[in-house]
């Protein structure tokens, strides 16, 4: 593992499990000092398990008081923030038909997914601007550009995150701060059985579901100096999902008809 993030201070939200945990693990392996923040108390246990130097903070990213506490504590501990990975999202409870939507459901999802990105990015930017450097990575979804059924609030929040990424990039570029967005594809979840994984994998051009480590590897690149000319960009890490016109199941030229080599 490279040491390209040696000594950089990183905050990863939604870091208790899955993608956020894998991102924290990867950044720590590349020698960053990592603060995992999550509303789930298991985040402190996760921080003790990922290796390297990592601390867990129980934080609700939709609460400015919690976000302030998180940043104040990280600044006390390590003196700066170089990297913010906005990954936390309310995914559970996000599926509801639009005819059954209500204000509480909408606000609950937008507050975590979109306002949470804003609150953390704002605190991060205020530390990064005087330092003249920093990277903010936001986390979108294919739902930002191709709708999921029954996920109007989630998809709207993700569309907002992509627009937010670009707008923040323009405002912060003169201060040496980059703002980029990662779009995970179909990422395998621990609770998915083999049948579900195989069915999902068959819809992906690269023929497999993604792993949290696939997203973590892309994020590690985005926050490193290897990506120093990259800002306002949205990077799909999805095995080609978003680029296909039709799923392979209804494709008129199926993969089974491709030349044998």
Ligand X SMILES: NC(=O)c1ccc[n+]([C@@H]2O[C@H](COP(=O)([O-])OP(=O)(O)OC[C@H]3O[C@@H](n4cnc5c(N)ncnc54)[C@H](O)[C@@H]3O)[C@@H](O)[C@H]2O)c1
- Only one of the segments 4-12, 54-62, 101-109, 224-232 lies at the binding site for ligand X (rule: CB under 6 A); that segment is 54-62
Contact 131, 75 (CB under 8 A): no
Contact 54, 26 (CB under 8 A): no
Cα separation, 73 vs 57, in Å, equals: 9
* Binding status of residue 50 toward ligand X by CB under 6 A: no
Residue carrying structure tokens 């909408």: 106
Question: Given the complex with ligand X, which of 114 and 131 has the nearer CB atom?
Answer: 114
Active site residues: 154
Residues with Cβ within 8 Å of residue 137, at least 6 apart in sequence: 83, 84, 85, 86, 87, 180, 181, 182, 219, 222, 223
> Please, which of residues 114-153 interact with ligand X by CB under 6 A?
139, 141
Question: Given the complex with ligand X, which of 52 and 212 has the nearer CB atom?
Answer: 212
> Please, which of residues 201-260 interact with ligand X by CB under 6 A?
none
Residues with Cβ within 8 Å of residue 21, at least 6 apart in sequence: 15, 36, 46, 50, 212
Query: What's the token pair of residue 244?
Result: 């296909």
Residues with Cβ within 8 Å of residue 253, at least 6 apart in sequence: none
Q: Among 35, 85, 88, 151, which residue sits at the site for ligand X (rule: CB under 6 A)? A: 88
> Please, which of residues 20-49 interact with ligand X by CB under 6 A?
20, 38-40
Other C-beta atoms lying within 10 Å of the C-beta of residue 57 = 20
- Only one of the segments 53-61, 128-136, 172-180, 216-224 lies at the binding site for ligand X (rule: CB under 6 A); that segment is 53-61
- Only one of the segments 15-23, 25-33, 217-225, 239-247 lies at the binding site for ligand X (rule: CB under 6 A); that segment is 15-23
Expressed in angstroms, the distance from the first to the final Cα of the chain is: 34
CA 121 to mean position of chain CA atoms = 13
Residues near ligand X (CB under 6 A), total: 25
Question: Given the complex with ligand X, which of 101 and 242 has the nearer CB atom?
Answer: 242
Question: Given the complex with ligand X, which of 127 and 215 has the nearer CB atom?
Answer: 215
Q: Among 187, 204, 220, 223, which residue sits at the site for ligand X (rule: CB under 6 A)? A: 187
Q: Among 24, 56, 134, 184, which residue sits at the site for ligand X (rule: CB under 6 A)? A: 184
Q: Among 91, 202, 230, 242, which residue sits at the site for ligand X (rule: CB under 6 A)? A: 91
Binding site for ligand X (CB under 6 A): 13-14, 16-20, 38-40, 59-62, 87-91, 112, 139, 141, 184, 186-187
């Amino acid at each position: 593992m490279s040491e390209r993030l040696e000594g950089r201070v990183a905050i990863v939200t939604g870091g208790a499990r899955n993608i956020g945990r894998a991102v924290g693990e990867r950044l720590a392996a590349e020698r960053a000092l990592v603060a995992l923040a999550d509303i789930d108390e298991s985040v402190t246990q996760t921080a003790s398990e990922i290796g390297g130097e990592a601390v867990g903070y129980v934080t609700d990213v939709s609460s400015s008081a919690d976000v302030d506490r998180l940043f104040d504590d990280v600044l006390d501990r390590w003196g700066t923030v170089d990297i913010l990975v906005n990954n936390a999202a309310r995914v559970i409870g996000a599926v509801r038909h639009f005819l059954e939507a209500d204000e509480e459901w909408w606000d609950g999802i937008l507050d975590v997914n979109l306002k949470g990105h804003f609150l953390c990015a704002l605190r991060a930017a205020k530390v990064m601007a005087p330092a003249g450097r920093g990277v903010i990575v936001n986390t979108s979804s294919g739902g930002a550009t191709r709708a999921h059924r029954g996920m109007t609030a989630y998809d709207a929040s993700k569309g907002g995150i992509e627009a937010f990424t670009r707008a923040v990039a323009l405002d912060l570029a003169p201060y040496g701060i980059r703002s980029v967005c990662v779009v995970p594809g179909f990422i395998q979840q621990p609770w998915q059985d083999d049948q579900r994984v195989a069915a999902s994998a068959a819809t992906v051009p690269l023929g497999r579901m993604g792993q949290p480590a696939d997203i973590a590897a892309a994020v590690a690149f985005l926050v490193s100096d290897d990506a120093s000319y990259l800002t306002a960009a949205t990077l799909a890490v999805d095995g080609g999902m978003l680029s296909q016109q039709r799923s392979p199941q209804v494709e008129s030229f199926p993969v089974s008809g491709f030349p044998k080599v």
